[in-house]
Amino acid sequence: MKKKMILDQVSFEIPKGSITGLLGPNGAGKSSLLRMIAGLSSQDSGTVQVFGQPAGEKMLGKLSLLPDRGSLPGWLTAEQWLSFAAGIYPDWNEQSAKQLIERLKINLDTSISAMSRGEEARLQLLTCLSRTAPLIILDEPFTGVDLISREQIASTVVAEMGDGERTFLIATHDIREMEMLFDRLVLIGDGQIKSVEDVEQLRQHGKSVESCYREVFA
């Protein structure tokens, strides 16, 4: 069977402590790229490094991934799931988890199968952020999430950035909600990097994240 090229000539760096938006149309290769960075799939050529080390199994403890289309075990309640997660992640921080339960308004007694898409998305984010891993990769954290919850998620990301120790890489189509959060953009289309932008510099040139996106992809 003929192989399809999904990513080609992709080269960029993510500064430590930044919030980088990975933006691009459907099928651009965002999820494929994030899976490679997370070490869940491998490339035929080239290198992916996470904190200066090759991406892969050994780096899994350094990053926390919210996958697209991920699903949590529906037969557990949120409380049971969080207790399980606390046991499987060595870097689980119980205090962060408690704060995020409040902030993201998680109902601990609800069974996951009875949660709406948005409620499950918030629980997924909580799971991801309750770890102390320095790199957080969020693949479309807003899918099916209502406006207020999107704002809650965005402000949670900002709160998590407080000490500048964490680095976020976020693939999203919800550019408006995230406009004020990103300090760097990686624009990807047809499996290739179209542009890498410093958001501060964009603003100095009178541009917004949205206008930059339109310029590159319209």
Ligand X SMILES: Nc1ncnc2c1ncn2[C@@H]1O[C@H](COP(=O)(O)OP(=O)(O)OP(=O)(O)O)[C@@H](O)[C@H]1O
SS (H, E, C) 95-119: HHHHHHHHHCCCCCCCEHHHCCHHH
Gap between the Cα atoms of 213 and 25, Å rounded: 10
The footprint of ligand X on this chain (CB under 6 A) covers a number of residues equal to: 10
Gap between the Cα atoms of 207 and 199, Å rounded: 9
Report the nearest approach of ligand X to the CB of residue 52 (Å): 25
Report the nearest approach of ligand X to the CB of residue 173 (Å): 6
- 29 near ligand X (CB under 6 A): yes
- 216 near ligand X (CB under 6 A): no
Nearer to ligand X, 68 or 198 (CB): 68
Report the nearest approach of ligand X to the CB of residue 68 (Å): 6
Residue appearing with tokens 């410093």: 198
- 26 near ligand X (CB under 6 A): yes
Contact 159, 190 (CB under 8 A): no
Gap between the Cα atoms of 170 and 165, Å rounded: 16
Contact 161, 15 (CB under 8 A): no
Exactly one of 6, 40, 72, 86 binds ligand X (CB under 6 A); that residue is 6
Please give the structure tokens belonging to residue 169.
């890489």
Element (H, E) at 193: strand 192-198
Report the nearest approach of ligand X to the CB of residue 24 (Å): 6
Q: What mask, x for binding ligand X by CB under 6 A, covers residues 43 to 72?
A: -------------------------x----
Stretch in the footprint of ligand X (CB under 6 A) among 12-20, 24-32, 50-58, 160-168: 24-32
Contact 74, 113 (CB under 8 A): yes
Contacts of 98 (CB under 8 A, 6+ apart): none
Give all strands (DSSP E) within 67-174, no chain letters.
Answer: 135-139, 167-171
Q: What mask, x for binding ligand X by CB under 6 A, covers residues 156 to 175?
A: --------------------
- 95 near ligand X (CB under 6 A): no
Exactly one of 20, 23, 30, 160 binds ligand X (CB under 6 A); that residue is 30
Nearer to ligand X, 21 or 29 (CB): 29
Q: List residues near ligand X by CB under 6 A.
A: 6, 24, 26-32, 68
